[in-house]
Every structure is written in structure tokens, then in C-alpha cells.
A and B are shown apart, each in its own frame.
Chain A
Amino acid sequence: MNRARVTVQGARATAMERARQRLTVVALLFGTIFLVMAARTVELGLFQGISEPGIHHVKAPARLSARADIVDRNGVVLATNLKIESLYADPVRVLDPEETAQQLVRVLPDLVEAELVEKLKGKRRFVWIRRKLTPRQVWEVNALGLPGLAFQEEEERVYPQGRLAAHVLGFTDPDGRGLAGVEHFFDERLASLENADMPLQLSLDVRVQHALTDEISRAMERFSAKGAAGLVMDVETGELLAMASLPDFDPNHQAAASPDALFNRVSQGVYELGSTFKAFTVAMALEAGTATVSSTYDATDPIRISRFLIRDDHPQARVMTVPEIFVHSSNIGAAKMAMEVGADGQQAFMGKLGLLRPASLELTEVGHPIVPDRWRDIATMTIAYGHGIAVSPVQLSSGLASMVNGGHLVPATLIRKTMGYDNDGTQVISAKTSDTIRKLMRLVVREGTATRADVPGYRVGGKTGTAEKPEAGGYAKKAILSSFVGVYPMDSPRYLVFVLIDEPKGTKETFNFAGGGWTAAPTVANIILRTAPLLGVSPHEEDDGLFQQAAYVISDSRRRQ
């Protein structure tokens, strides 16, 4: 009995002991899990609450319009996307078609009432009444409080400056894809979502752009020209502050523009630009060492080569020094200078200046230069004074900027360079040669072919170009391209102004002359007059000593005669 009890007790005790042990294990297990959960809860609640993925971040889409704005160098809006409301009607819900039409016509006067009534009486559930209303018109339609009318929001690319810089900006199709200008070149950048809030900043300055456009359009009108083009460039950075081509178009209504208006004469058109090339010829000869400032060339007789005759437009018919050849724009002298350097040397020099390949401008509309297939002697001679080679005004301007800025060629750009950019120009001529070219260009304006380009106080220098337009089998005598490239201030050049006038006709004031010195040069003078105060160039008396050396050479040779 006792033994049995002990056994029973023993058995029970063992079972209870085991149960207790199991319970303890389970309790410990649960306890640990709950502790971990508690600790995690506290951690989440107190320390990681903000980054909890479950929190719903209310983030409305930043903007419907994905395309980025385009602004000028000072942040003035050149192109932007706006929500435009278009008015439509649901005729079933229109109570009184006649009354509705009558009131709508009062607000939107260009609608025809009869047509509108017809539309509103129809059975369709959706009819457009008018696309693209101004905010004011939207407000007025809403104020009418008519039932059955509603607005549909649409995106539209708007160019608030109108025609200004149209060729630079280009335009987009109705779906917002860039079709021309920087709109096309930077289409991906402008359309990408992450850049939507970062405007594309161009190097243009709307004030300079307007002054340029205004002046060349006046010149075009005054000389009854077919077209005109111009640009203003910073010679140190290669930034284009303005670039205009006339006739132009309104990018807001580009569908109406003619192909001629869409054509960009500054970057797309390639022209034989004439005597402005003599700056390259002189620099080349000075660099090659075949000529010095006091070298002389006999320009008495025209050069006859194969079937061509090279003559001077301003014949002096005498032996001339290098500055005189440049100042009086002697074709004979320039041709002889180029022949001394040779065809290979000239080709290499032109290549170095980037005149033999398309300009690296940020536009799709960039013309390919026309250069001779084989660089014969006749080509060397004509290229010396800018015939037989056709380049775009942008190429010419970059090349000339490198002639005056100390000799480094900086590619032209339409994108604003930030302060402290690295000067990535390549040295093409020595600083000494560049200095000589500056003085020569100043002399052209002081006493050469471009005295009308002078602006008191701004020390303008430059070179005229008058080129006969090529036509079938030769050159047209009557149709000319007049150009002038001006640089100022000449003692430390900062800006280059180029103007090209396509087929100007002489007027009474110009004594029927239509050359670059009579048409383009005064236009450049006006542009400088208007833009120099905007660009922070202060007028002051010029240091005559700077130009005396070159001037002496001229007077010396005059005395010797």
C-alpha cells in the first residue's frame, strides 16, 4: 500500500515535474518572443517612425508639364509650358442653344453664332467650341455660368518673346517634341522628367538679341535687302549673346512660316564672305614668317591666272605694305601673301581655325562648309580674300574671335558658361600676331574701308566684306553679300559683332554703294552703340600710341611715293 502510494506519488510527481518543465520552456519561449516584439515596437515607434515604409507619403505630381523651360543668361523666360484650357460642350446638357451661343459670342467674338447654334443642337455628347483660351477668356466663360460647357486642360509650348531669337529656340510639334533649334538639339534633356524643374539656360541676352534684330531689320528695310543675319559673340568664352536671321518667324505659329523664314542664315547658310578672310591671310603670313608688318607687295597690276582676273575693289595701283593691303582691302596683295605661304600651309591654317568642318554649335541646323576639292593655286589666291570657300557666319566669327582674343580658338556656344569655366580653347596664333591683327582691324575703322563703323569712345575695330554672289558660270555683279565684322573695345577685345546683309541695294545716302563699308558697318556701329552700355563696356578716350606703330608704316610708304 505504502509502496504503491509512493509509486503513484512518484509517478505523479514525475509527470507533474515534466509538465512544469514543459510549461516553463513554453513560457520562456513566448516571453522571449513577446519581449522581442515589444522591443521592436518601441524601436519602430520611437526611433524609426519617420522612415516607416507604411506611412503614405502624399506627393502630388510636381507638374503636368514635363518639358523644361528655356531661359536667357539673365533668367528671362524664352520658352515655357503652360496649361491651356480648351472649351467644349455637351449639347445634351445645354438648356438653351440659342441663348448659350449668343452669350458665348459676346465673350469670344471670333466665333460665328449660327455655326455655334448648329453645334449645340447636335446629338453628339462632345463638341469643341474653341481651343486654347487665354486665362481671361476662361474666367469670362466661367462667369457666364452656362450649363453644359466645360474645359479640357491641354499643355502648350509658349514663346513669350515672340519672334525674338526664333531661330535659336526653334519650335515643337503639338505633342511637345522639339523639331528645330535648341528645342530639337536638347530634346532629350528638355523632355526628361528629372530635369523638368531645371530650366535650360542659354548664353543669349534678350536685350542684346533685340538690339541686334532691330538694327539688322532696319538695315534690311533701308537697303531693300533679301535677308540679313547677325550675331554678337563674347570673344573670350565663345558664348553667343545674340544670333538673328531675317526673315524670321513666330515660333508660336510656326506652321505659317515659309521655308525661307525657317532657314537660319547664321549657322545653316554658308557663304563666300569676302574680304573678312584677309584677317586670316595676314595672320597666316605673319605666323608662317613669310611676311612682317613692313613687308611690301606690288599691287600695281591685276593678277591673271587661268581664266580669272584678280582685281582690287579699291585700287591703289602701287606697292603696298601689309597694313595697307589690309586697310585698303587689296585682293592682289592678299593673293600674293597667300601664295608665299602656299596651298598646304593655307589649308592647314584654315583647318586649324575650324573653317573646314561644320561649326560645333548646339543646333541641328549647322551648315557644312564648301571647300575646294583640290587646293590649287587659284583656290589659294581666291581664298586669301574670301572667295572659293563658303563658311557659315558662326564659323567665321569664331575664327575671327581667335584672331583678336590673344590667339586661342574657343568653339561658339549657345549655352551659358558658368563663372570659372576652364578655358578649353586651343592656341591657333601667337599672342603677338593677335596683337598686330587687333591694331590692323582698328586701323580699318579709323582710316580704311569701314570708317562708318566707328563709335566714339568704344574703340571699334573690324573688317568689311563685300562678296559677289556666285551664279551659274561665275559671279553676279549686281547681287552681293555685304558683311562687316566689328570687335570692341579694340585695346582689350570683349565682344564681336557680325552683320551680313543679303543683296543690299545702294540708296541716295550711300551714293548707291552697297558694299560692307556702306551697309553693314554702320549697322554694326548702331548695335555697338546700343549694346555696349548693356554689356558694361565703358567709353573712354583711346590710347593713340597703341596704333601709331602700324599707322607709321602706312604714312611711311605714302611718303616714299
Chain B
Amino acid sequence: MRQLLTVFAAMLVLASAGGLYLLKHKVEARRDQVLALERQIMHDSEALRVLEAEWAYLASPQLVQDQAVRYLRLRPATPDQVVTSLAVLPYRLDHHVLAAVSGDDIQPVPSPRSKPVAPTRPDDHRKADVLMASGETTPPGQPSVLSNASYSLGDARHRQPRRQDFGARMQQAIDRVGGDQ
């Protein structure tokens, strides 16, 4: 009994010594790994700071403005162009309504530098365009879809462009073609 206890104790000592040795090595390996990771994180965060600074520089308003002036044909928006009411936005129409609406009814091309109010009749559209073209608001060098020479101001079919929002106009178009909404 006593001998058995001694043997057991000796084995326990050997086993725990061996276990401790293995554990120590594992911990050291893990520590090296953590250190390497820490170093990597430090390096990466430093790189991140450089990139953030570079981004702030490249996206600084002065630089963006210079590039925009050089490469884009966009101009600053005017208050007229800011849409403040959903009523001026076009409806999304179902397929069968779209099929029933004649091509003349939909002219979704907004005139540049003006509030997006889409006309329903081609006459309205052209009339508005002629007015636009005669005004000073047309930017020079813009493609001249506006000044369509074949539609003179004297054309009898021309009516005054109605100041109606697009929703109402579209509703009229739908009524006219008898859309079953």
C-alpha cells in the first residue's frame, strides 16, 4: 500500500514536470505569436494613418474642385434644381399602362438648369424648350437638343406650358388612355 502510494506520487511528479515543460513551450510559442501580431497591428495602424491622411488630402475640397472644373461639364446646382416636393418626381408606371400611353405622352428628359417638371404633350415640351433656349440660362457649349429649329414659335399648335406638377399630368395621361388603375 505504502509502496503503491510512493510509486503513484513519483509518477505524478514526472507527469506534472513533463506537462509543465510542454505548457511552457506552448506559452512561449504563443507569446511570440502575440508579439508578432502586435507588431503587425502597429505597423498596419500606422499605414492606416498614412492612408487616412492621403485620403483626406486627395479628397480635400480644393483638389476635388480643381479636378471637377478640369474634367467635368457639371456646374453648381441652383436652388431651382433642388426637388423639395415628391409631386414633381415621375410615377413609375405599370407595363400595360406604359404600353397604352403613346410615345408623345412621355418625355422624361428634363431641361438643363431648370426644375424637373416633365411635360405630358410634346407641344408643351418644345414650347418650354424654346423658351429655355431663348433665355440666358442655357449654358454655352451644351448639346442643343433645346433649340429645335423645326418648331418655330409661330406654330399654331403651341400652347402655354402649364405649370402643373408631373403627378397630375401623368394622371391626366392615364385618364386619357383609360388605364384601369
Tell me if B61 and A60 are in contact (CB < 8 A): no
Q: How far is the CA of A78 from the CA of B55 in the complex (A)?
A: 11
Contact call B79/A161, Cβ cutoff below 8 A: no
Q: Is A83 located at the chain interface by the 8 A CB criterion?
A: yes
Distance (Å) between the CB of B47 and the closest chain A CB? 9
Query: Are B84 and A83 in touch, CB under 8 angstroms?
Result: no
CB of B104 within 8 Å of the partner chain = no
Q: How far is the CA of A204 from the CA of B124 in the complex (A)?
A: 46
Size category of the A interface is: 35 or more
A455 within 8 A of B: yes
Q: Which residue of A lies closest to B51 (CB)?
A: A135
| Chain A 155-180: CB-based contact to B (< 8 A → 1; otherwise 0) | 00010111010000000000000000
Instruction: Please measure, in the bound complex, the distance between the C-alpha atom of A61 and the C-alpha atom of B56, giving whole angstroms.
Output: 26
Identity of the chain B residue whose Cβ is nearest the Cβ of A539 in the assembled complex: B79
Stretch at the interface among B37-45, B127-135, B157-165, B167-175: B37-45
User: In the complex the two chains form, is B53's CB within 8 Å of A82's CB?
Assistant: yes
Q: Is A160 a contact of B54 with CB atoms below 8 Å? A: yes
Q: B143 contacts the other chain (Cβ, under 8 Å)?
A: no
Give which listed residue, A164, A456, A458, contacts B61 with CB less than 8 A.
A164
Specify which chain B residues have a CB less than 8 angstroms from the CB of A211 in the assembled complex.
Answer: 61
| Closest chain B residue, CB of each to CB of A530 | B76
User: In the complex, which residues of chain A have a beta carbon less than 8 angstroms from the beta carbon of B56?
Assistant: 76-78, 80, 160-161
Partner of A210, one of B34, B49, B55, B65: B65
Residue count of chain B within 8 Å CB distance of chain A: 29
Contact with B along A291-320 (1 / 0, CB 8 A): 000000000000000000000000000000
**A161:B50 contact, CB within 8 angstroms:** no
Query: How far, in angstroms, from A81 to B54 measured CA to CA in the complex?
Result: 12
Min Cβ gap A67→B in Å is 12
The interface bits of chain A over 495-516 (1 if a CB of B lies within 8 angstroms of the residue's CB, else 0) are 0000000000000000000000
Give min CB distance, B74 to chain A, whole Å.
14
Kindly list chain B residues whose C-beta atoms are within 8 Å of the C-beta of A161: 56-57, 60
Contact call A206/B60, Cβ cutoff below 8 A: yes
Contact of B84 among A76, A162, A164, A539 (CB under 8 A): A539
Rounded to whole angstroms, the CA-CA distance of A538 and B31 in the bound complex is 58
Produce 1/0 per residue, A531-561, CB < 8 A to B: 0110000111000000000000000000000
Interface residue B144 (Cβ < 8 Å from any Cβ of A): no
Which residues on the A side are within 8 Å of B41 (C-beta)? 60
Given contacts A60-B42, A63-B45, A539-B82, contact A210 B62 (CB under 8 A): yes
Per the bound structure, the CA–CA distance linking A540 and B38 in Å amounts to 56
Closest CB in chain B relative to A524 CB, distance in Å:
15
- Given A60-B39, A210-B61, A456-B80, the answer on whether A160 and B53 have CB atoms closer than 8 Å is yes
Cross-chain contact B45 with A158 (CB below 8 angstroms): no
Task: Knowing A63-B45, A80-B53, say if A457 contacts B61 (CB, 8 Å).
Answer: no
Q: Which residues of A contact B57 (CB under 8 A)?
A: 160-162
Chain B contacts of A539 at CB under 8 A?
A: 79-80, 82, 84
Which residue on A lies nearest to B64, using beta carbons?
A: A210
A135 to B46, CA, bound (A): 12
Contacting pair A77 B52 (CB below 8 A): yes
Q: Chain A contacts of B78 at CB under 8 A?
A: 529
A56 in the interface, Cβ–Cβ < 8 Å? yes
Q: In whole Å, how far is B67's beta carbon from the nearest beta carbon of chain A?
A: 14
**Interface presence of A59 (CB below 8 A):** yes
- What distance in Å separates the Cβ of B58 from its nearest Cβ neighbour in chain A? 9
Assuming the contacts A58-B35, A162-B60, A164-B62, asked whether A538 and B82 have C-beta atoms less than 8 A apart, the reply is yes
**0/1 interface trace, chain A 320-352, chain B, CB 8 Å (1 if under):** 000000000000000000000000000000000
State whether the Cβ of B109 lies closer than 8 Å to any Cβ in chain A.
Answer: no
In the complex, what residues of B have CB within 8 A of residue A458's CB?
79
Write out the residue numbers on chain B whose beta carbons fall within 8 Å of the beta carbon of A540.
84
Q: Is the CB of B60 within 8 A of A164?
A: yes
Binary CB contact string for chain B from 71 to 98 against chain A (1 if under 8 A, 0 otherwise): 0000011111010100000000000000
Q: Are A82 and B50 in contact (CB under 8 A)?
A: yes
B77 to A, closest residue via Cβ: A533
Cα distance, A63 to B31, chains bound together (Å): 20
Complex CA distance for A206 and B55, rounded to whole angstroms:
14
Q: Tell whether A73 is near chain B: CB-to-CB under 8 Å.
A: no
How far is A61 from B52 in the complex, measured between Cα atoms in Å? 21
* In the bound complex, CA of A82 to CA of B78 (Å): 40
Supposing A83-B46, A164-B61, A533-B82 touch, asked if A60 and B52 sit within 8 A by C-beta, the answer is no
CB neighbours (8 Å) of A368 from chain B are none
Q: Shortest CB–CB separation between residue B6 and chain A, in angstroms?
A: 16
A132 adjacent to chain B (CB < 8 Å): no
Q: Which B residues are in CB contact (< 8 Å) with A62?
A: 42
Q: In the complex, A210 Cα to B63 Cα: how many Å?
A: 10
User: Which residue from B38, B53, B84 sits with its C-beta under 8 Å from A58?
Assistant: B38
Give every chain B residue within 8 A of A209 (Cβ-Cβ): 61
Contact B38 A63 (CB under 8 A): no
In the bound complex, CA of A78 to CA of B41 (Å): 24
Q: How far does the Cβ of B121 sit from chain A's closest Cβ, in whole Å?
A: 26
List A contacts of B34 (CB < 8 A): 58
- A121 in the interface (beta carbon within 8 A): no
CB proximity of B84 to chain A, nearest CB, Å: 5
What's the nearest-Cβ distance from chain B to residue A551, in Å? 23
Is A63 touching B46 in the complex (CB atoms < 8 A)? Answer: yes
- 8 Å CB contacts to A: which residues of B18-37? 31, 34-35
Give the CA-CA distance A481 to B56 in the complex, in Å. 35
Contacts of B77 in A (CB 8 A): 533
Contact B42 A58 (CB under 8 A): no
Which residues in A have their C-beta under 8 angstroms from that of B65? 210, 214
A241, chain B: closest CB distance, angstroms: 13
CB atoms of A80 and B61 under 8 A apart: no
Residues from 52 to 109 in A contacting B, C-beta threshold 8 Å: 56, 58-63, 76-78, 80-83
Is the beta-carbon distance between B79 and A455 smaller than 8 angstroms?
yes
User: In the complex, what residues of B have CB within 8 A of residue A56's CB?
Assistant: 31
> What mask results when residues 343 to 380 of chain A are scored 1 for a CB within 8 Å of chain B, else 0?
00000000000000000000000000000000000000
Shortest A380–chain B CB gap in Å is 42
The interface residues of chain A lying within 8 Å CB-to-CB of B84 are: 538-540
- Chain B residue nearest to A71 in the complex (CB): B56
> Nearest 5 CB-CB pairs, A to B?
A210-B61, A539-B79, A457-B79, A160-B56, A160-B57
B residues with a Cβ closer than 8 A to A are: 31, 34-35, 38-39, 41-42, 45-46, 49-50, 52-57, 59-62, 65, 76-80, 82, 84
10 A-B residue pairings within 8 Å (CB atoms): A59-B38, A60-B35, A77-B56, A80-B49, A82-B49, A160-B56, A160-B60, A164-B62, A214-B62, A457-B80
Other A-B pairs beyond A63-B45, A63-B46, A162-B60, 7, CB < 8 Å: A58-B35, A60-B38, A60-B39, A60-B42, A82-B49, A83-B46, A164-B60
